[in-house]
């Protein structure tokens, strides 16, 4: 059977169940506030958010692959496009743009102008070190790890810190060679 | 771009136009997030009651904001002052905005004057959740109970709000009932208003 054609982000988004973005945003906000109260240190909160994102990414990739018909990406460039155009659209209803490739083609930036996580949010001065959306970087890292790519994801720009957009830097550290579960056959 | 530092432009959040609230994200994005919320809180507690209380706290924060938001957007800056008014606001307006539909039912408790119940056959937060046996009566609906409490408290109707599973005949899954028990002062005021 020929592989199904990959769907566009819009097509997938149209075909799945939705919830109101405000419920999502406010729930996320409530969670961040709980973390700030519990952990007290902004750095710890960043770490915890990243960890939660990672946990999500590891599971989210399954749904992503199942619903988008996207198969193996030929190169990192395609990976970037798929994240920006299909991944973001499918889950958050927004698209990101891909820019600032380095010469080797191993790192790029995802730029978001619209970010459903931050509606109604203002960072007080005491939390300037907080990467409010750090969960997103964890999600990307976790999801890519499940498709054999070790990456490092960092925030470059953040509108909550006064920048004009959200920019995430994704750097490919290494491709993990495919390991077949040989043990099963032994 | 030498010399171009980061310019901090604090746009006051309150000056932004209020969105119409039509934006949506995927249900799974919410489900993933909510499951992380539950799992995180699980690491912070050692009993079920405490876990429910923490979920309720998270919901409370949502509820307080939802009241403010919806009063501005849907009600022309008016807030309900009567008991039935605020209850139907929760049951219809709040539910519709947050969960896309009005709640299945709103009933008055038969045994106690101060009790009301909002029931939902398939509550959003319970949809992907199965409760392990050892966690007994734990109900993720505590989060929604917290939202309801947040709305009611902030509107001046303090109440104790709890979530319960109620088995239904012929249905595999129980429905979730949000039990609202108003504080005495609320009923006294209501009686005075006639």
Task: Give B158-169 pLDDT, tens digit per residue.
Answer: 999 999 988 888
For the beta carbon of residue B39, count every other beta carbon within 10 angstroms.
Answer: 11
- Residue A3, pLDDT score: 62
Task: Provide the shortest C-alpha distance from residue B40 to chain A (in Å).
Answer: 8
Return d(Cα B138, Cα B161) in angstroms, integer: 15
Residue indicated by tokens 């077949």: A180
Judge whether residue B152 has pLDDT over 90.
Answer: yes
ipTM for the predicted complex:
0.90
Using only the alpha carbons of chain B, give its radius of gyration. Answer: 19
Q: What is the mean pLDDT of residues A146-162?
A: 92
Contacts of B145 in chain A (CB under 8 A): none
Q: Do B25 and A52 touch (CB under 8 A)?
A: no
Task: Provide the shortest C-alpha distance from residue B186 to chain A (in Å).
Answer: 27
Which strands, in side-by-side order, build the sheet including A149-157? A97-99, A107-112, A166-175, A149-157
- Is B2 an 8 Å CB contact of chain A? no
Contacts of A92 in chain B (CB under 8 A): 25-26, 29
Q: In the A/B pair of chains, how many CB contacts fall below 8 A?
A: 121
Q: Do B26 and A35 touch (CB under 8 A)?
A: no
Judge whether residue B16 has pLDDT over 60.
Answer: yes
Q: Which residue of A has its CA nearest to B8?
A: A162
- pTM of the model as a whole: 0.89
Number of H helices, E strands in chain B: 6, 5
Judge whether residue B92 has pLDDT over 50.
Answer: yes
Report the residue from A16, A26, A63 with minimal CB separation from B62.
Answer: A26
Task: Give B106-146 pLDDT, tens digit per residue.
Answer: 999 988 989 999 999 888 877 777 777 777 777 889 999 99
Report the residue from A29, A91, A163 with minimal CB separation from B25.
Answer: A91
Task: Give A39-83 pLDDT, tens digit per residue.
Answer: 999 999 999 999 999 999 999 999 999 988 888 888 899 999 999
- Residue A183, pLDDT score: 60
Report the residue from A22, A24, A35 with minimal CB separation from B33.
Answer: A24
B89 touches B81 (CB < 8 A)? no
- Residue B54, pLDDT score: 95
Judge whether residue B9 has pLDDT over 50.
Answer: no
Return d(Cα A114, Cα A121) in angstroms, integer: 13
Distance of CA B179 to the CA centre of its chain: 12
Task: Give B18-41 pLDDT, tens digit per residue.
Answer: 777 778 899 999 999 999 999 999
* A116 dihedral zone (left: phi>0; alpha: psi -120 to 50; beta): alpha
Judge whether residue B2 has pLDDT over 50.
Answer: no
Greater model confidence, A184 or A133: A133
Q: Do A26 and B10 touch (CB under 8 A)?
A: no
């Amino acid at each position: 059977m020929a592989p199904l054609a990959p769907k566009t982000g819009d097509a997938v988004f149209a075909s799945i169940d939705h919830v109101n973005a405000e419920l999502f945003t406010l729930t996320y906000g409530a969670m961040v506030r709980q973390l700030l109260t519990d952990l007290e240190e902004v750095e710890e909160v960043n770490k915890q958010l990243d960890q939660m994102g990672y946990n999500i990414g590891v599971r989210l990739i399954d749904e992503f692959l199942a619903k988008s018909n996207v198969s193996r990406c030929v190169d990192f460039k395609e990976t970037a496009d798929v994240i920006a155009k299909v991944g973001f659209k499918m889950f958050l209803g927004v698209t990101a743009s891909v820019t600032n490739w380095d010469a080797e083609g191993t790192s790029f930036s995802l730029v978001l102008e619209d970010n459903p996580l931050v509606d109604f949010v203002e960072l007080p001065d005491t939390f300037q070190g907080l990467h409010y959306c750090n969960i997103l970087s964890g999600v990307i890292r976790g999801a890519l790890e499940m498709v054999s790519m070790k990456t490092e994801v960092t925030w470059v720009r953040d509108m909550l810190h006064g920048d004009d957009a959200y920019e995430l830097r994704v750097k490919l550290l290494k491709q993990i060679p495919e390991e077949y579960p040989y043990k099963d056959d032994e | 771009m030498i010399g171009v530092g980061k310019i901090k432009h604090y746009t006051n959040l309150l000056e932004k136009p209020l969105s119409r609230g039509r934006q949506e994200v995927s249900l799974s994005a919410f489900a993933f997030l909510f499951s992380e919320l539950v799992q995180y809180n699980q690491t912070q507690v050692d009993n079920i009651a405490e876990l429910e209380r923490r979920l309720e706290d998270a919901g409370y924060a949502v509820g307080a904001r939802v009241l403010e938001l919806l009063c501005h957007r849907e009600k022309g800056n008016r807030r309900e002052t009567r008991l039935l008014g605020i209850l139907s606001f929760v049951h219809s307006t709040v539910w519709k905005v947050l969960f896309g539909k009005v709640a299945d039912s709103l009933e008055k408790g038969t045994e106690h004057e101060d009790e009301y119940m909002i029931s939902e056959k398939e509550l959003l937060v319970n949809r992907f959740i199965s409760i392990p046996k050892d966690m007994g009566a734990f109900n993720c609906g505590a989060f929604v109970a917290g939202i309801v409490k947040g709305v009611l408290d902030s509107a001046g109707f303090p109440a104790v709000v709890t979530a319960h599973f109620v088995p239904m005949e012929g249905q595999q899954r129980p429905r979730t009932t949000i039990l609202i028990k108003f504080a005495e002062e609320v009923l006294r005021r209501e009686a005075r208003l006639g």
